[in-house]
């Protein structure tokens, strides 16, 4: 027998189960993702094609500046694959983290008018980032196949692990910074600074061995650099897409020792960060409507 209304437990209004509610409200999540995409490309001639144009321009600038002028093309052949496989990992992180941070403030009218799980907003930003990520992966795969890449189970598993690390890390940081951004709008500028240097603090434009040679084996800074989750994700992408077709001597580039294990640890650390972000988000979400 079901409990009568008078016997049902009382629940504080406006309190949910966090990310669990997002899974239960998948229909609302789809609506928010569609809304984000429509708003972003409203009045745009190219529309979703900008997912190809923007990374293509960024790639061209880095390729000619580093590959041609600084001769990285001859150092890490095929340099185009090396560069683009690292770029799409950092681009995914940048878009997901940046948009998730602004998600609650950007949806202030909805937050103030109706109740729905607030986590829907940063999670929808992650999905929008993945929508833009797919075309870039397609372009990368075409380039890889042209130069002789043939995927195996190891490559696919490593690439999937890299995506999971990036998405989990971006969502955890997005929940944390997104909640704090409602109270302190300076956080948006801090996030912009983080994203501005992210591409240089991970081995996207250069091999990680240059950092090793500069800092020295056994250096604490080198350990921190190699165990940065974004560095691990970039190297996982290199292992999946570039390494099988690379033509580089072992003394010039090599896979970091224990890369896959580091990927598992990076994913575990990102999950811990996700739990912290969710905790802070739930503690502060009761103030969102008032602050906005």
Is residue 1 in a domain?
no
Q: Which of 232, 238, 239 is nearest to 85 (CA)?
A: 238
Residue 210 lies in a domain: yes
The answer to the question of residue 10 being in a domain is: no
For residue 206 the two structure tokens come to 């250069």
Give me the number of domains the chain comprises: 1
Domain that holds residue 270: 19-36+45-291
DSSP 3: P
Percent of the chain with pLDDT over 70: 88
CB neighbourhood size of 248 (10 A) = 17
Which pLDDT tens digit goes with each residue over 2-42? Answer: 455 445 455 555 556 778 888 888 888 888 888 888 887 77
pLDDT per residue as tens digits for the range 225-236: 999 999 999 999
Q: For residues 238 and 39, give the distance between their C-alpha atoms in angstroms, rounded to a whole number.
A: 34
Contacts of 161 (CB under 8 A, 6+ apart): 236, 260, 263, 264, 267
Whether residue 7 lies inside any domain: the answer is: no
Within-domain flag for 147:
yes
Span 187-207, pLDDT tens digits = 899 999 999 998 889 999 888
Smallest Cα–Cα separation from 91: which of 44, 53, 123? 53
In a domain, 5, yes or no: no
């Amino acid at each position: 027998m079901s409990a009568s209304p008078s016997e049902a437990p009382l629940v504080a209004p406006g309190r949910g189960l966090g990310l669990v509610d997002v899974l239960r409200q998948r229909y609302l999540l789809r609506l928010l993702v569609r809304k984000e995409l429509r708003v972003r490309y409203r009045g745009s001639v190219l529309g979703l094609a900008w997912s190809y144009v923007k990374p293509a321009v960024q790639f061209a600038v880095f390729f000619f500046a580093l590959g041609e002028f600084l001769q990285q093309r001859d150092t890490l052949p095929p340099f185009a694959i090396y560069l683009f496989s690292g770029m799409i990992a950092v681009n995914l992180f940048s878009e997901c983290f940046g948009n998730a941070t602004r998600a609650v403030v950007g949806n202030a009218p909805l937050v103030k008018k109706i109740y729905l799980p607030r986590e829907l907003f940063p999670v929808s930003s992650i999905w929008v980032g993945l929508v833009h990520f797919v075309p870039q992966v397609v372009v990368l795969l075409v380039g890889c196949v042209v130069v002789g890449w043939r995927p195996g189970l190891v490559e696919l598993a490593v690439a999937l692990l890299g995506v999971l690390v990036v998405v989990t890390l971006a969502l955890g940081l997005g929940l944390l910074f997104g909640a704090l951004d409602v109270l302190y709008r300076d956080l948006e500028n801090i996030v912009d600074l983080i994203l501005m240097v992210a591409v240089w603090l991970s081995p996207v434009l250069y091999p990680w061995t240059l950092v090793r040679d500069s800092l020295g084996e056994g250096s604490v800074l080198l350990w921190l650099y190699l165990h940065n989750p974004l560095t691990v994700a970039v190297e996982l992408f290199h292992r999946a897409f570039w390494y099988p077709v690379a033509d580089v001597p072992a003394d010039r580039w090599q896979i970091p020792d224990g890369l896959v294990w580091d990927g598992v640890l990076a994913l575990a650390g990102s999950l811990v960060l996700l739990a912290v972000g969710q905790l802070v988000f739930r503690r502060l979400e009761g103030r969102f409507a008032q602050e906005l």
